[in-house]
Amino acid sequence: MSEVIERFAQACRREPGCLSYDVFRSVEQPERFLSVEQYADREAFAAHRNSDHFREIGQGELLAVAVTRTVRTFTGAEPVPPKA
């Protein structure tokens, strides 16, 4: 599964509105992963969710092997600096 996650993360990082996409693996439960994503604005996040790689890898390959999936969406507590 880690190969699929890495392919997905790389594709997401190439999105114009993606400010960061970090993937973490649990030390105690190595089968568990956490991704923390940051997008420039709501439009960039919507574009991410409508991208081919989101549908093909995110909703296809990853969901096929995921035991559980939790998604939480947050807004910044402070202004997000523009990507250089």
The confidence band for 2, taking pLDDT boundaries of 50, 70 and 90, is confident
pLDDT in tens, 38-56: 999 999 999 999 999 999 9
62 secondary structure, DSSP code: I
Segments making up each domain of the chain, as ranges = 1-65
pTM: 0.80
Look at residue 11 and give its three-state secondary structure.
helix
**Which letter does DSSP use for residue 67 in this model?**
S
How far CA 20 is from CA of 30, 55, 64, 68, 81, in Å, comes to: 22, 19, 25, 23, 12
Question: What's the confidence (pLDDT) of residue 66?
Answer: 84
pLDDT for 55-74, tens place per residue?
Answer: 999 999 998 888 888 989 98
1 — pLDDT class (breaks 50, 70, 90): confident
| 1-65 fold | Alpha-Beta Plaits (3.30.70)
